[in-house]
Structure formats: structure tokens, C-alpha cells
């Protein structure tokens, strides 16, 4: 009997072992043995001397992925996509043991990789987002680390939470009833501008943060982190402490960049934050951003200054811009990309002057294009080199405002106002100013010939400006009295608008002519295809390619009818063609557009097109 009892016990133990092995979730951790697994030191931010001795770090100063790998995790044989409906503790162990590069290997078509703020952290961190229900978050040294956080939505179940009684559909108040030691906390989210609520539950090796929009609303996401050291938590605390101790504004950090600004032996840092207290915002703009510059020294950091509005907080329907800040050998480059249908990128560069100990504006590159069309069709770039010493903390104009006068012409019944540069710094600038002045005079004569009472304004804008080409659009607009209509008291009854383009070759100081590159036949063919594409050409007296040829020829030789006009302008990589047509017997003017690819040797590719667009958005 004694032996039978022992046999029964052994059988029971064997069955339990087999059941345990069968229940293990199959998943492969496809880890590369040669991955660089070093992680950042857990020392708080102070100053960093950039000499060779301080660059060396001992094994005691570094932590590796092996150091935080869970001893209970097992090597599993299947890639973790699709994710299982139940996240066991063993499965979670393996997910935390994976590196950034491991997650890049298993990404699929639904995966997105970028940086964003999340959870209770306003600072943006690298993240990999899978199928909108699973994400992993890393610290700034993402390539060398395992995740600091794993996020899953309520689509998935977590074994450890189910074991304490948590189920789908429960609210935070429901969770409180499971254990009265739990506490509801809250955090502020920048872009929604309201508080969210969460409960932290510690189970074995992990903290599970259950998140909800309200204490009575369903828990919608769960952030999982290891108990103990957390790279993002430590990093955020360091940056937030710097902002709190140095900024004069109540704000929360959203991103930062380290580097050497002033060519000394200490690391500097630029921190951009979002203003939390709108009463402190002198620009009175929603969620305005403030940028602070700290210079490293032997005692930590000294504040160079902080400036509101250097980096935008909103770019229209696109929302906040995608921002890239780099520090390279005393040069600060700030890229801001945003917009909606029309996308724009602003690249501002500031160079540190060691003599003045100031960070001066060097150049600004404005690029824009229409997102619905091929980028080369509409891309325009205006590059401005600044000669005045504008400090990064100054209220910097969006144009080089040297020697600009406002001119007012008052003749008989009308007035015309416009701006002009009264000084030229070089021969190229003198030629541009002279040429633009010639076309402004044409528009002034055009208004004179109208012989009406009104107020008009002429404005010139650079579409393209670089070392080789200037393409400028000149607009005239105004209000006047049309005496064929009823005259209204104290206001004009008609609106006037017209524009023309000036294209200048700075290499040879001459106007660019489209016929130097394309024939009238090629121009008319491109416009005819655009005209027929819109359909209903019978509504216009311009119906055939031959009709368009006549309009193009008349426009180029100066004999233009008011209702029919051809114009062109140079874009970065194309020539834009515009055909203006009168619709039926109305005063409505419709525009047809087409493009021809530039093949001339005056093409200058913008930094945005070469580096930013090609690498990030194409």
C-alpha cells in the first residue's frame, strides 16, 4: 500500500508538469546574440565633461539587458505576432527581455515607429506601435535598451490581473472594490488638455497601471513596467527637475537635445516645454511652447535663457509640428514640419559666437508643398541668410528686414501702398529689387488706367529664393467703386485682385524665360490636358489646344485680354503653368494648372528635400 501511494503521488506530479508545459504560450523571442545591449547609467543629470577620461565607463556604471532579464522567462519558439488574447506572466517576461532591434524585426505593415508623449510623461520617447492595441516604449537610448513600458488595450486579458478579480468592462471604482488599498491617481495630457485617471497595481515583478478617462468609465489601456529601476521614469525626473529648477514659467518638458554648443568641455542641453498655466503666456496661444537653453559647467548647468514661440505648438489640422532639434559643433538646427493639405517645413539654424558668447540666427529655410500632389510639382523653398545679429532669444522676424520703407501713392481718387527695399547689399539684390520695382510700376499703371475711386495694396513674396534663382509673386488687391453698380455709403462695392510672377537668374542677372526651356507647343499641350481633365470645356470659348496656343503667345508678347491669361512661375523642381479662363458669360475666372519638370542647371535642392523629406516622409 505504501508503494501504491508513492506511485500515485508521482503520477500526479508528472501530470501537473505536463499540464504546465502545455499551457505555456508559444512565442519566439528572436534575439540577436550580437546586439549592443548597453543601457544608460542611473546617475542623475549633472554636468558631463567631454574629455576622453570621462567618456570611459566601467561595468559598474552600466546596466545590460542581461542584468534585467527575468530568470523565470523561457526561450519560446514563435514570433509574438499576432499577440495572444491572454498575456501570461511568462509571456510578459519575454516581451521585456526583447530589445528595440528585436521589435523592429517583428514589425508588420500595421506597425508605426516614432516618438510621442504617453501616460504620465509629457516628454516624447521612442515607441513601436503594433495594431493600435499593443505598444512598447523606450528611453532615449532606444537601440540599446529593452522596453521601459508595455501598453496593451482592453482587447487583451492579463493573467495576473484576472487572478485578483479584474475583468473587461470594469471601471476604476470597480477596481477599488477589489482592494481598498488601491488609490486613484491622475495625470495631465498636453494635447487633450485634460486629466486622465489610473490605478497602479503591483503584482510580483510588475506594476500594472490601469488607465481610464474617468473614475466611473471603463479601463481602456494598461501600462506595464518592471518594479524597481525604470529608464523612462528616471530620465523624465531628471529633465523635469532641470525645468523646475531653471525655468521662470510653469511648464512641462516635451522633448530635449544634448550636445556641445560653445565648444567647451561640458555638455549643454536644449529643453522645449509646453506651458501649463495659460495666464503666463504672453502670446495668449493655446498650449504655447517655451524653449530653454542650459549651458553645462563644472557646477552643473547655467541658464542661457528661455524663449516662448521659438517652436510652434500648432500647425493647423496636422496638429503640433514634428520637431527635430540637433546640436552639432556650435550649430543648432531646428526642423518643424506640419500643415494639412499644404505641408510646410521650417529649418532654422543658429550659430554660437564665441567672441560675443551669443547664439545668433544664421539662416531660415521655408519649404512648402501640397500633400495631395507629387511633392516636386508644388515644392517651393525660400532661404533667408541673416546678416543682423539676432539672438535666439530675440523676437526674430520672418524676413530679413533691412532698409524697408512703406510707400504711399495718392492720385486723384485712389491710393496705392507698397513696401520696397531702399538699399541693396550686392549686385544680385540690386537686380532683384530693380526688376520687382519694374513690375510693380506696371501694376500701378494698370490701376491708373482703371480710373476708379479706391484703395489698393501691392505685396511681393518670394516663392523661391536660393543662391541661383529668385521666383517672386507680386499681388495687387484692393476695393473700389464700380459706378455701373449701386454706390454704397462708406464702403466700396467691388474687389480687385491680380498677380504676376517674376523669375530671375541670379547667376547671369537676367529674367528667366520659359521659352528658353520649353516650346509653346509643349506648354499648350500640358495645359490642354489639364483643361480637358476638368471636363465641360464647352462652357469656355477656349476649347482646343490651338486656342490655348494663342493665349500663351499673347500673354508672352504682352497682348493679353482680361478674361484670358497665361502665366508661369518657377518651383524648386518644376515650372508651374497657369491658364486663366472666363466661365461662360459671367465674371467668374477659372484657373487651370499644370507643371513641367525643370531640367536647367539652376536647380538647387533644399535641405528639406534632400534630408528631411527623403528620409522621413517619402
pLDDT in tens, 429-440: 999 999 999 999
Under the banding of pLDDT at 50, 70 and 90, the label for residue 564 is confident
Q: Mean per-residue pLDDT for 19-36? A: 34
Under the banding of pLDDT at 50, 70 and 90, the label for residue 401 is low
User: What does the mean pLDDT of the chain come to?
Assistant: 82
What pLDDT does 618 receive? 52
- Cell numbers 539676432 label which residue? 390
Phi, psi of 600 (to 5 degrees): -80, 170
Does the pTM exceed 0.85?
no
DSSP structure class, residue 538: G
pLDDT higher than threshold 50 for residue 113: yes
Beta strand 157-158 pairing with 86-87: parallel
What pLDDT does 296 receive? 96
The helix (run of H) or strand (run of E) holding residue 442 is helix 427-450
Q: Mean per-residue pLDDT for 362-371? A: 93
Which residues, in sequence order, are CB contacts of 274 under 8 Å at separation 6+? Answer: 122, 190, 251, 252, 254, 287, 288, 289, 290, 313
Cα 363 from chain centroid? 19
Q: Mind listing the pLDDT tens digit for each residue in 33-49?
A: 322 222 233 333 333 33
Q: What is the DSSP string of 570-617?
A: E-SSEEEEEEEEE-TTSS-EEEEEEEEE--STT----HIIIIIIIIII
The candidate with the shortest Cα–Cα distance to 469, out of 573, 348, 364, is: 573
Q: What angle do CA 44, 293, 274 make, to 5 degrees?
A: 85
Phi, psi of 594 (to 5 degrees): -150, 170
Q: What angle do CA 119, 139, 257 make, to 5 degrees?
A: 105
Q: Mind listing the pLDDT tens digit for each residue in 325-346?
A: 999 989 999 999 988 889 999 9
What pLDDT does 617 receive? 54
pLDDT higher than threshold 90 for residue 455: yes
Could you give the C-alpha distances from 435 to 43, 343, 442, in angstroms and in order? 62, 30, 11
Could you tell me the maximum CA-CA distance found in the chain, to the nearest angstrom? 126
Beta strand 86-87 pairing with 380-385: unpaired
Q: Is 129 left (phi over 0), alpha (psi -120 to 50) or beta?
A: beta
Say how many C-beta atoms besides its own lie within 10 A of residue 507's C-beta.
Answer: 12
- Contact in structure between 345 and 572 (CB atoms under 8 Å): no
Beta strand 469-480 pairing with 454-465: antiparallel
Beta strand 206-212 pairing with 221-226: antiparallel
Which residues, in sequence order, are CB contacts of 25 under 8 Å at separation 6+? Answer: 76, 84, 86, 88, 90, 91
| Helix 520-534 / helix 545-557 crossing angle, nearest 10 deg | 130
Q: Mind listing the pLDDT tens digit for each residue in 292-337?
A: 999 999 999 999 999 998 988 777 777 788 889 999 989 999 999 9
Separation between Cα atoms, residue 285 and residue 149, nearest integer Å:
33
pLDDT higher than threshold 70 for residue 427: yes
Amino acid at each position: 500500500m505504501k508503494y501504491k501511494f508513492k506511485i500515485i503521488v508521482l503520477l500526479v506530479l508528472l501530470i501537473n508538469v505536463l499540464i504546465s508545459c502545455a499551457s505555456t504560450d508559444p512565442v519566439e523571442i528572436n534575439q540577436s546574440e550580437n546586439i549592443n545591449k548597453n543601457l544608460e547609467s542611473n546617475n542623475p543629470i549633472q554636468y558631463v565633461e567631454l574629455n576622453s577620461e570621462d567618456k570611459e565607463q566601467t561595468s559598474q556604471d552600466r546596466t545590460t539587458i542581461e542584468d534585467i532579464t527575468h530568470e523565470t522567462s523561457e526561450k519560446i519558439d514563435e514570433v509574438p505576432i499576432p499577440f495572444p488574447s491572454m498575456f501570461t506572466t511568462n509571456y510578459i517576461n519575454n516581451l521585456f527581455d526583447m530589445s528595440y532591434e528585436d521589435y523592429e524585426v517583428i514589425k508588420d505593415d500595421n506597425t508605426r515607429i516614432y516618438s510621442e508623449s504617453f501616460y504620465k510623461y509629457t516628454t516624447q520617447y521612442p515607441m513601436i506601435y503594433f495594431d493600435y492595441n499593443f505598444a512598447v516604449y523606450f528611453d532615449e537610448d532606444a537601440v540599446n535598451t529593452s522596453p521601459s513600458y508595455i501598453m496593451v488595450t482592453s482587447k487583451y486579458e492579463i493573467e495576473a490581473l484576472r487572478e485578483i478579480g479584474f475583468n473587461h468592462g470594469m471601471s476604476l471604482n470597480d477596481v477599488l472594490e477589489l482592494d481598498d488599498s488601491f488609490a486613484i491617481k491622475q495625470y495631465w495630457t498636453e494635447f487633450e488638455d485634460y486629466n486622465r485617471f489610473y490605478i497602479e497595481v503591483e503584482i510580483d515583478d510588475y506594476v500594472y497601471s490601469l488607465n481610464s478617462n474617468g473614475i466611473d468609465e471603463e479601463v481602456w489601456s494598461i501600462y506595464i513596467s518592471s518594479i524597481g529601476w525604470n529608464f523612462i521614469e528616471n530620465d523624465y525626473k531628471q529633465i523635469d527637475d532641470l525645468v523646475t529648477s531653471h525655468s521662470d514659467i510653469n511648464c512641462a518638458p516635451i522633448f530635449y537635445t544634448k550636445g556641445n554648443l560653445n565648444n567647451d568641455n561640458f555638455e549643454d542641453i536644449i529643453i522645449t516645454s509646453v506651458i501649463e498655466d495659460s495666464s503666463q503666456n504672453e502670446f495668449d496661444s493655446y498650449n504655447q511652447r517655451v524653449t530653454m537653453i542650459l549651458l553645462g559647467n563644472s557646477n552643473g548647468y547655467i541658464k542661457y535663457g528661455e524663449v516662448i514661440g521659438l517652436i510652434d505648438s500648432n500647425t493647423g489640422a496636422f496638429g503640433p509640428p514634428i520637431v527635430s532639434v540637433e546640436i552639432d559643433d556650435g550649430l543648432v538646427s531646428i526642423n518643424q514640419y506640419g500643415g494639412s493639405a499644404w505641408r510646410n517645413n521650417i529649418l532654422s539654424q543658429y550659430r554660437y559666437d564665441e567672441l560675443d558668447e551669443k547664439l545668433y540666427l544664421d539662416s531660415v529655410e521655408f519649404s512648402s508643398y501640397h500633400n495631395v500632389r507629387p511633392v516636386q510639382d508644388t515644392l517651393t523653398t525660400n532661404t533667408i541668410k541673416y546678416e543682423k545679429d539676432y539672438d535666439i532669444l530675440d523676437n526674430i522676424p520672418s524676413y530679413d528686414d533691412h532698409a524697408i520703407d512703406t510707400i504711399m501713392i495718392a492720385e486723384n481718387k485712389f491710393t496705392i501702398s507698397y513696401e520696397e527695399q531702399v538699399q541693396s547689399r550686392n549686385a544680385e539684390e540690386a537686380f532683384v529689387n530693380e526688376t520687382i520695382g519694374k513690375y510693380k510700376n506696371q501694376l500701378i499703371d494698370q490701376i491708373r488706367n482703371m480710373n476708379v475711386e479706391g484703395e489698393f495694396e501691392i505685396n511681393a513674396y518670394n516663392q523661391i529664393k536660393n543662391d541661383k534663382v529668385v521666383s517672386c509673386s507680386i499681388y495687387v488687391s484692393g476695393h473700389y467703386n464700380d459706378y455701373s453698380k449701386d454706390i454704397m455709403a462708406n464702403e466700396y462695392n467691388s474687389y480687385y485682385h491680380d498677380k504676376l510672377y517674376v523669375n530671375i537668374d541670379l547667376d547671369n542677372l537676367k529674367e528667366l524665360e520659359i521659352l528658353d526651356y520649353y516650346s509653346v507647343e509643349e506648354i499648350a499641350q500640358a495645359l490642354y490636358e489639364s483643361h480637358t481633365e476638368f471636363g465641360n470645356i464647352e462652357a469656355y470659348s477656349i476649347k482646343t489646344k490651338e486656342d490655348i496656343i494663342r493665349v500663351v503667345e499673347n500673354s508672352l508678347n504682352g497682348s493679353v485680354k482680361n478674361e484670358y491669361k497665361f502665366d508661369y512661375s518657377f518651383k524648386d523642381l518644376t515650372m508651374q503653368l497657369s491658364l486663366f479662363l472666363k466661365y461662360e458669360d459671367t465674371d467668374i475666372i477659372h484657373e487651370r494648372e499644370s507643371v513641367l519638370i525643370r531640367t536647367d542647371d539652376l536647380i538647387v535642392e533644399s535641405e528639406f528635400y534632400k534630408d528631411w523629406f527623403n528620409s522621413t516622409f517619402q
